[in-house]
Amino acid sequence: MKFLVTVMEFRIALARPRLLAFNVMVPVVLVLAISLGGAPEFHAAAVYTVLFTIFGTFGSAIPLVRDAEAGLFGRIIRSGVPPSHFLIERAAGGSAIDALQLLPALTIATLGSISLNGWIRAVLVLWSSIWIANLLGNLVAAAARSLAETALFSAVVTLFLLHLSGVFRTPLPQSSWAVIEAFSPFQALHETLLTVSAGTSTEFPLGLVVWVLILPVVTVFLARSVTRSLRLASDG
């Protein structure tokens, strides 16, 4: 693997400084508004989790569909990059860039209420969650036939997974919903953001680890179908 796609993702991000600045500033402004507005901890954590995860899925799915419609995706695959390498490398590059862009917002969200170790854990949880969101974005893009559909599907899939992850409601302990929540991808991020004021969460992020490991395997397995579907997008 030559990591051509990952390197290209970084080059593209650096070549668009205006967009880079927006992607840093917009989350910072939103987080600042909420943290300075005195929002209750539970609501603030929910908003941050939604913001960070949607940043990952939308940021992955929409450019992929746009590139597919323009014919660039087809050109990349045709040029010799295996579909599975492309999707994994793209998610790797995209999640690293997203995590770096969200780092100031995360730092503000946790400012003054977290130890260095806790902050490092929060960064790792954020990065892993965005890695999942980027991989989900790839799969969502394959199901969509237009940019509008991509935005809709990204929102629906992310919000549904956020719901399962306990972001919008707290399931009764030992209920089946609680078990589902433990295995949900964004539960760890929500839990981390929720517990910052009360000290860092020490709970093992089971759902996060499962999704971090399984989703790349699913992506590799579905890579050819994703490629075929995205090429259909470029054929109109």
Partner 1 sequence: MNSTTADETVVMDSGLTSLIKVSGLHFRYASSPPVLIDIDLEVSAGEIVALLGPNGAGKSTLLRILLNELTPESGTIAGPLLSMKSSRVLMGYAGEETAHFNSLTGIQNAHFFARAAGVEKHEVSEMVSGLMNLVGLSNEADKVVSSYSFGAKRKLLLLEALVHQPKLLLLDEPTVGLDPVSRDALADILSKCSQEGSAIVMASHDLNFLEQLADRILVIDEGRVVSSGSQIELLSSLGTATRFQVSVDTASIELPQYFGEDVELVDDSGPLVFETTRGQAALPEIWAALISARVKILGVEVREPGLAELFRRVTGQELPG
**Residue-wise burial string across 27-58, b where 16 or more C-beta atoms lie within 10 A, e elsewhere:** bbebbeebbeeeeeeeebbbbbbbbbbbbbbb
Radius of gyration of the chain measured on its C-alpha atoms = 18
In this structure, what token pair is assigned to residue 20? 């880079």
* CB neighbour class for 109 (10 Å; exposed up to 12, middle 13-18, buried from 19): buried
78 binds partner 1 (CB under 8 A): yes
Of 65-73, 93-101, 156-164, 183-191, the segment contacting partner 1 by CB under 8 A is 65-73
Q: Which of 188, 193, 185 is nearest to 42 (CA)?
A: 193
Per rule CB under 8 A, count of chain residues that contact partner 1:
19
Q: Which of 228, 150, 166, 164 is nearest to 201 (CA)?
A: 166
Among 11, 42, 120, 148, binds partner 1 (CB under 8 A): 11
2 binds partner 1 (CB under 8 A): yes
Among 21, 26, 65, 71, binds partner 1 (CB under 8 A): 71
80 binds partner 1 (CB under 8 A): yes
HEC per residue, 45-78: HHHHHHHHHHHHHHHHHHHHHHHHHHCHHHHHHH
Which one, 51 or 72, has the nearer CB to partner 1? 72
76 binds partner 1 (CB under 8 A): yes
Which one, 8 or 210, has the nearer CB to partner 1? 8
Of 71-79, 144-152, 163-171, 200-208, the segment contacting partner 1 by CB under 8 A is 71-79
89 binds partner 1 (CB under 8 A): no
72 binds partner 1 (CB under 8 A): yes
CB atoms near residue 156 (< 10 Å) = 11
Shortest Cβ 15–partner 1 spacing (Å): 4
Q: Which residues bind partner 1 (CB under 8 A)?
A: 2, 4, 8, 11-12, 15-16, 67, 70-72, 74-76, 78-81, 231
